[in-house]
Structure 1
Amino acid sequence: MATAATPLSQRLIALGSMRWFLALCALVAIVLRPEPGTGIVTEGWALVPTLLAPVLAPLVAVVLLLDALMARVFMIDTDGPVRQHYRLAIWFNVLLAALVTVYWLPYFLAIGQ
């Protein structure tokens, strides 16, 4: 486990492969966002950004927040470097969830109009 004196880059690497996979999913959701007001295409490659990405983006945000919640639960009984590890995991997840939410918000607001 990384200590507080460990550089941030090494502490981020120490977050683990599952959290980095979640970050990759968040990045893919951000990249695949269609322009607000885009219609749904039901065939071909256009199906991915117009149908699948709008369904998966909120799920990715919720899973990121769930991981932050679980990191908080695990952090309760720890102290020292382990507590710092979970604190970094919480901030990492909340920041990514907020980024996904803010980036997708114009798309979902355009659906309601």
Structure 2
Amino acid sequence: MSTTLAPLSQRLIALGSMRWFLMLCALLCLVLRPEPGTGIITEGWALVPTLLAPVLAPLVVVVMLLDALMARVFMTDTAGPQRQHYRLAILVNVAIAVVVTLYWLPYYLAIGQ
């Protein structure tokens, strides 16, 4: 897998395709966020940022936090390079979950007003 002496880029690549797909979903949620106060459009491509993205963003955050939790569970039984791998996975997942949450927070706060 990865070693503690491996460059960060190699360790990020070694996170695996499922985690990278999850990060891609988080990036799409960031890109597709509509402006706070935007109404829901139920037809055409405008449906994606106004209806689907607001529904999927919290789900992506929950799945990222679940992956961080599972990485922590798996980390308890490992040592050395494998432990560093899981530690990096936890750090990346939590950091991206925080970014997505903070980016979407104004949108969700505008819904309640």
| 1:49 positional shift | 0.2
1:79 and 1:73 map into 2 onto residues whose CA distance is 13
| 1:70 positional shift | 0.2
Q: Name the Cα RMSD after superposition.
A: 0.3
| 1:80 positional shift | 0.3
Q: Which runs of 5+ in 2 are unaligned?
A: none
Q: Which runs of 5+ in 1 are unaligned?
A: none
Report what 2:24 is aligned to. 24
Amino acid in structure 2 at the alignment position of 1:94 = V
User: 2:86 aligned with 1:86, yes or no?
Assistant: yes
SS in 2 for 1:102: helix
Amino acid in structure 2 at the alignment position of 1:95 = A
Q: What are the superposed Cα offsets for residues 6-42 of structure 1, whole Å, 9 maximum, x if unpaired? A: 0000000000000000000000000000000000000
User: 2:45 aligned with 1:45, yes or no?
Assistant: yes
Amino acid in structure 2 at the alignment position of 1:71 = A
Task: Give runs of aligned pairs for residues 1-113 of structure 1, distance below 5 A.
Answer: 1-113=1-113
2:83 and 2:112 map into 1 onto residues whose CA distance is 42
SS in 2 for 1:99: helix
| 1:78 positional shift | 0.6
User: Percent same amino acid at aligned positions?
Assistant: 81
2:77 and 2:51 map into 1 onto residues whose CA distance is 42
Amino acid in structure 2 at the alignment position of 1:42 = T
TM-score (norm 1): 0.99
Q: Structure 1 residue runs of 4+, over 2 Å off? A: none
Corresponding pairs, count: 113
Amino acid in structure 1 at the alignment position of 2:86 = Y
TM-score (norm 2): 0.99
2:102 and 2:64 map into 1 onto residues whose CA distance is 14
